[in-house]
Structure 1
Amino acid sequence: MNQRLGLLLESFLGHVSHSRGRVLSLLAEHGVTADQGILLRHVHEQPGMPLSTLAERMGLSLPSVSQMAERLVKLGYVTRREDPEDRRRKSLQVTAKASRFLTAFKRVRAEELALGSARLTAPTKQRLVSALEAALAELEGEPS
């Protein structure tokens, strides 16, 4: 069941994603890679998360995440903080620049997905909305 769901989601996203390339253009315009965008999203959602936790969540090595963080610091998207109790432990905070970028990214991504889904009939869209709302409620720990 999980395998089939994964394949269906991948196929669906293949049909509706990047229809006009605006998301990829936005990333390139801001000098942010896809992995760096994912890292920014994690830091935005959970500020102060240690780099080691970020690496674990992203399935990447700590040196890889540290390099991404360094690049994002140089671009002005994050600031790095030392833990006052353990100076070896570092965490990241997003800047206002990153918040603006993430807002634009989410808007452009949603627009592209909506455009890609435009050919669906109204009843299919409604069933998809209901299924996604239920799935997100479960994933976010809300009762359905």
Structure 2
Amino acid sequence: MNQNSPPADPAAAAQRLGEQMKALHRYVSGQLMRAMQDQLQGDDMSFSQMTALHQLRAHAALSIGGLADLTGLSLPAASHLTDRLVQRGFAERRENPDDRRAKLLALTADGHAFLDSMDRRFNETYQQVFGRVGVDLLGAAADTIEAVMTELRAQDARQPDRARPPIPEDPE
């Protein structure tokens, strides 16, 4: 099979796409990680805190136990991380409507603004990398990725999985 010709079976096609996505990720990850590190250091934010903010954005509100599960932290570590996010104004504790004795953690406007700023830096990095590629190829790639995301969202809608964060609708 020619390296550029599409494979005939779905497993081979998924493997080829995975390999190409991995190669693309390796190509841009150094620049993305540098941009993220600069922002995290500038804002005195840990990687665990940033991960927690992303989980809160994906899930709207979480118990500390739920946040611990999603971030891979112990319950005491997630509790300490929660305290730091609340102190910094990036998250807030809310009453759990299902259990008034329990609290849920949710993003604040400042938490959303921080993640929006990080998203902008990532987008700028992608634009710097992909800005070197021809416009027709970029359009075809964007159309293909959009079609893949549409199919994944449709599958997720048919078979929701609570452990999987939703795929964002608007990739701004």
Give the TM-score range, shorter chain.
Answer: 0.7 to 0.9
**In structure 2, what is the Cα distance between the partners aligned to 1:36 and 1:130?**
34
Greater Rg by CA: 2
RMSD of equivalent CA atoms: 2.7
Q: Which residue of structure 2 lines up, in the alignment, with residue 122 of structure 1?
A: 135
1:97 has 2:97 as partner? no
Deviation at 1:86, TM superposition (A): 5.0
Shift of 1:138: 2.8
| Inter-partner Cα distance in structure 2 for 1:132 and 1:64 | 37
Q: Compare 98-107 and 120-129 and name the one that shifted more.
A: 120-129
The CA deviation at 1:55 is: 2.9
Taking structure 2 as the reference length, the TM-score comes to 0.67
Q: Against the structure 1 CA distance between its residues 121 and 47, is the aligned structure 2 distance closer, same or farther, given a 3 Å change threshold?
A: same
Deviation of 1:28 after TM superposition, in Å, equals: 1.3
* Cross-structure match for 2:46: 33
Alignment coverage as a number of residue pairs: 142
SS of residue in 2 equivalent to 1:80: strand
Q: More displaced, 61-70 or 23-32?
A: 61-70
Unaligned runs of 5+ in 2: 1-10, 158-172
Residues 137 and 71 of structure 1: CA distance in aligned 2, closer, same or farther (over 3 Å): same
Q: 1:19 aligns with which of 31, 37, 52?
A: 31
Letter in 2 for 1:13: H
Q: Which residue of 1 aligns with 2:56?
A: 43
CA distance in 1, matches of 2:82, 2:144: 36
Deviations 1:37-92 (A, max 9, x none): 222122123322222223333344433332322221222211123436252x3311
Q: TM-score, normalised by structure 1?
A: 0.77
Is the alpha carbon distance of 1:115 and 1:67 closer, same or farther for their aligned partners in structure 2, counting shifts above 3 Å?
same
3-state secondary structure, aligned to 2:106 = strand
C-alpha deviations, 1:81-118, integer Å up to 9, x for none?
A: 3436252x331121222122111111111111111222
Point out where structure 1 has 5 or more consecutive residues left out of the alignment: none
Greater relative CO, 1 or 2 (CA 8 Å, sep 6+): 1
- In the alignment, which residue of structure 2 is the partner of 1:9? 21
Letter in 2 for 1:71: R
Q: Is the 8 A contact 2:56 2:62 kept in 1?
A: yes
Partner of 1:77: 90
